[in-house]
């Protein structure tokens, strides 16, 4: 992928990380998994918006896939951390 295409993917990963951090800081005990699920829904919508905004159809499916897999990895890691910390 070209450099700007990687940036469009990393934006979603950073959004997922920001959602995970805010969920850890602001959610009530026992509500972390609910907010992480909503965070993933936001990542899906954000991914589609960012990738459609690029206006490039070449590699669209690959960029969406990589964006969402990265978001899943970030949010799954947050889920593990929340579970170990007793926040989930």
Q: Are 67 and 9 in contact (CB under 8 A)?
A: yes
Say whether pTM exceeds 0.85. yes
Question: Is the per-residue pLDDT at 33 higher than 70?
Answer: yes
Q: Please state, for a pLDDT cut of 90, what percent of the chain lies above it.
A: 73
Mean pLDDT in residue range 67-85: 95
> How far is Cα 3 from Cα 9, in angstroms, rounded to an integer?
10
- Print the SS3 string covering 18-79: HHHHHHHHHCCCCCHHHHHHHHHHHHHHHHHHHHHHCCCCCCHHHHHHHHHHHHHHHHHHHH
């Amino acid at each position: 992928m070209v450099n700007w295409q990687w940036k469009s993917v990393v934006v979603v990963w950073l959004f997922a990380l920001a959602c995970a951090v805010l969920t850890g800081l602001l959610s009530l005990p026992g509500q972390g998994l609910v907010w992480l699920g909503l965070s993933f829904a936001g990542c899906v919508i954000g991914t589609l918006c960012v990738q459609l905004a690029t206006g490039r159809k070449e590699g669209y499916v690959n960029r969406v896939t990589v964006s969402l897999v990265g978001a899943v990895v970030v949010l799954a890691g947050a889920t593990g951390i929340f579970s170990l910390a007793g926040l989930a």
